[in-house]
Amino acid sequence: MFSVNNFNISKYNEILSHGLSSGIGSPDGQVCVTAAISLTFGLSHRDYSGCEALSVRAFTMMLNDSSWSSPEARAGGLGGLGLAQVGSREAVDDKEFAKRIMERTIKSIIPRMLRKFFPFNEDCLKAADKCESLGTEEAVWAAERASREMRDTWKLWVVWEATDAAKWAASEAASWEPWKRASASARTATWAAVAAGDDSFLILAANIALSVLRELKSPGIQLL
Report whether 181 contacts 98 (CB < 8 A). Answer: yes
Report whether 1 contacts 11 (CB < 8 A). Answer: no
pLDDT digits (tens, 9 = 90+) for 96-154: 999 999 999 999 999 999 999 999 999 999 999 999 999 999 999 999 888 877 665 66
Nearest CA-CA partner of 60 in 35, 42, 43: 35
Radius of gyration of the chain (CA): 17
Mean pLDDT of 144-167: 80
The Cα 201–Cα 115 span in angstroms is: 13
The Cα 202–Cα 86 span in angstroms is: 20
pLDDT digits (tens, 9 = 90+) for 40-56: 988 866 667 778 999 99
pLDDT number for residue 50: 76
Domain parsing of the chain, residue ranges: 4-91+219-223, 94-215
pLDDT number for residue 42: 86
Bridge partners (DSSP) listed for residue 20: 31
pTM to 2 decimal places: 0.93
At 3, the amino acid letter reads: S
Number of neighbouring beta carbons within 10 Å of residue 10: 8
The Cα 35–Cα 42 span in angstroms is: 11
What is the largest distance, in Å, between two alpha-carbon atoms of the chain? Answer: 55
Buried b / exposed e along 140-172 (16+ C-beta atoms within 10 A): bbbbbebbeebeeeebbebbebbbbbbbbbbee
pLDDT digits (tens, 9 = 90+) for 59-108: 999 999 999 999 999 999 999 999 999 999 989 999 999 999 999 999 99
Sign of CA dihedral 13, 222, 103, 55: positive
